[in-house]
Amino acid sequence: YVVGQVSGSLGAAAAPAAPLARLFRAAAPPVLVAVPGGNKRKHAEKEKKVSEDQSLSAVQEPPVKAKKARKKERSEAEKKLSERENALEQADEEEDQKLFQNKGKQKKKASQTITKSVINSSTSATAKQQKRKRVADEAAERRTVFVGNLPVSCTLQVLKSLFKKYGQIQSIRFRSLIPAEDTVSKKVAAIKHKLHPNAKFINAYVVFKEECDAQKALKENGTEIASGFHIRVDTASKTSSHDSKRSVFLGNLSYDIHDDAVREHFHVCGDIVGVRVVRDRTTGLGKGFGYVLFENTDAVHLALKLNNSVLMGRKVRVQRVADKKKAQKSPDQSRAPKDRVDKKKKGKSCSNDSFVGEKASPLKKSTKPKRLKTTPRNKAGKNK
């Protein structure tokens, strides 16, 4: 451009052909060219596909190149760090597993201890209950009196009138009842008085409120409550010991024998404290043996003389009652002397069979000191 040409073109009287004046003039209206519709859509779709492909390639290419570059740039130190991190992670996982297992074991142990404590507490409670029950039963037995050889016609009123003078009675129970029918229980048979026609004896237990009253009631032992029925009164506790020195065992008795028949047979020997004929619970018949308790030991010697005496058509066997404690000790004591006797016999038999010669007298060793052997002088000169 020539100097002044630009400034002149900007003015109102500028030449229309100035090149810079064209830039600031009003823009000419655009010229529209008609294009078919189908080709336009296809062209637009192609342009879109090209643009999408370019964008995808632009997005995908840089990460791949970056990964390759990172792999190449990764050094040995980074590999070691990654390995350490992996090892630490594994160690943490193992510790977590161990803690979980330990917690499970602790829970099992706690549950086992709880169950054991519950079982121990239950067993201790049951043991305590059993002990209390045992103590209560023993106390009740000491307050109870056994009354045997009662007639079948005996009632509660008769027993109460007999024992009420010794103290307050708590309860009375009849036992050894034989019902008339097998289908009827003993309790029903006692209430309805449906007993077997052959049954002639029953027993009873009288429970007092005080133990001292039960001891006083023992005075009624041997009293005749009815004609031919002398009752036997004894404590029901198991601790009461039977005196074997004043007792006699009877064998080969008749099965349908009465206690009073035994009493009459042995009353010549001395005063009788009680007669006991062992009977079957279901039938009430005797089992063929019994016992007689006397007041003195002298009566036992007289009763032994009645051995093989006839009672109700049978020869009665009369023997002493063996003490259980002595019977348990006697086998152990009797074995030792027998063994010793056998050993002595064996030794004697061997000595008789074997030949016994004269015994040689042992040589006595001399206590004198031994002399040293010395060579004679003549022999010594010759040797020289």
In this structure, the answer to whether residues 231 and 304 fall within a common structural domain is: no
What is the longest distance spanned by two Cα atoms in the chain? 190
Can you give the pLDDT at residue 299? Answer: 92
In a domain, 340, yes or no: no
In a domain, 201, yes or no: yes
In this structure, the answer to whether residues 217 and 165 fall within a common structural domain is: yes
**Paired tokens of 35:** 């294009």
Q: Last residue of some domain: 278, 294, 322?
A: 322
Q: Report, in this order, helix, strand and coil percent for the chain, each rounded to 5.
A: 50, 15, 35
Quick check: 145 and 214 in contact, CB under 8 A? yes
CATH of the domain at 287: 3.30.70.330
What average pLDDT does range 29-56 have in this prediction?
60
Rounded distance, CA 1 to CA 8, Å?
A: 11
Quick check: 291 and 250 in contact, CB under 8 A? yes
Specify the DSSP element, H or E, that contains 318. strand 314-320
Residues of the domain holding 299: 247-322
The percent of residues in the chain predicted with pLDDT above 70, rounded, is 63
In this structure, the answer to whether residues 266 and 225 fall within a common structural domain is: no
241-244 — which CB contacts under 8 Å span 24+ positions? 242/293, 242/321, 243/293, 244/320, 244/321, 244/322, 244/323
What average pLDDT does range 13-28 have in this prediction?
55
- What is the total count of domains within the chain? 2
Is the pLDDT higher at 126 or at 39? 126
Is the pLDDT higher at 9 or at 302? 302
In a domain, 330, yes or no: no
Confidence of residue 126 (pLDDT cuts 50, 70, 90): confident
Query: Which of 128-142, 146-160, 308-322 has the lowest average pLDDT?
Result: 128-142
Rounded distance, CA 153 to CA 159, Å?
A: 11
Give the tens place of pLDDT for each residue, 243-290.
Answer: 788 999 999 999 988 888 999 999 999 999 889 899 887 777 889 999
In this structure, the answer to whether residues 264 and 284 fall within a common structural domain is: yes
In terms of Cα–Cα distance, which of 286, 287, 292, 289 is closest to 304? 292
- Is 317's pLDDT higher than 70? yes
Is the pLDDT higher at 73 or at 295? 295
In this structure, the answer to whether residues 226 and 139 fall within a common structural domain is: yes
Can you give the pLDDT at residue 59? Answer: 47
Give the tens place of pLDDT for each residue, 204-240.
Answer: 999 999 999 999 999 998 888 888 888 989 888 765 5
- Is 18's pLDDT higher than 60? no
Rounded distance, CA 204 to CA 145, Å?
A: 8
In this structure, the answer to whether residues 256 and 230 fall within a common structural domain is: no
- Is 354's pLDDT higher than 60? no
In a domain, 219, yes or no: yes
- Is 291's pLDDT higher than 90? yes
- Is 19's pLDDT higher than 90? no
- Is 142's pLDDT higher than 60? yes
In a domain, 226, yes or no: yes
In this structure, the answer to whether residues 138 and 187 fall within a common structural domain is: yes
Confidence of residue 360 (pLDDT cuts 50, 70, 90): low
DSSP 284-314: --EEEEEEEEESSSHHHHHHHTTTTEEETTE
Is the pLDDT higher at 209 or at 37? 209
In this structure, the answer to whether residues 165 and 191 fall within a common structural domain is: yes
In this structure, the answer to whether residues 139 and 213 fall within a common structural domain is: yes
What average pLDDT does range 159-185 have in this prediction?
87
Quick check: 205 and 144 in contact, CB under 8 A? yes
The percent of residues in the chain predicted with pLDDT above 90, rounded, is 20
In terms of Cα–Cα distance, which of 300, 311, 320 is closest to 260? 311
Q: How far is CA 214 from CA 172, 203, 247, 361, in A?
A: 13, 17, 24, 83
Confidence of residue 352 (pLDDT cuts 50, 70, 90): very low
What average pLDDT does range 50-64 have in this prediction?
55
In a domain, 273, yes or no: yes
Is the pLDDT higher at 91 or at 364? 91
Query: Which of 5-14, 273-282, 331-340 has the lowest average pLDDT?
Result: 331-340
Q: How far is CA 253 from CA 275, 276, 302, 315, 348, in A?
A: 13, 12, 19, 8, 50
Average pLDDT, the chain: 75
In this structure, the answer to whether residues 307 and 275 fall within a common structural domain is: yes
In this structure, the answer to whether residues 257 and 291 fall within a common structural domain is: yes
Give the tens place of pLDDT for each residue, 99-109.
Answer: 888 888 888 88
In this structure, the answer to whether residues 199 and 278 fall within a common structural domain is: no
In a domain, 9, yes or no: no
In a domain, 63, yes or no: no
Can you give the pLDDT at residue 344? Answer: 47
Can you give the pLDDT at residue 253? Answer: 93
Quick check: 306 and 316 in contact, CB under 8 A? yes
Query: Which of 87-91, 114-118, 379-383 has the lowest average pLDDT?
Result: 379-383
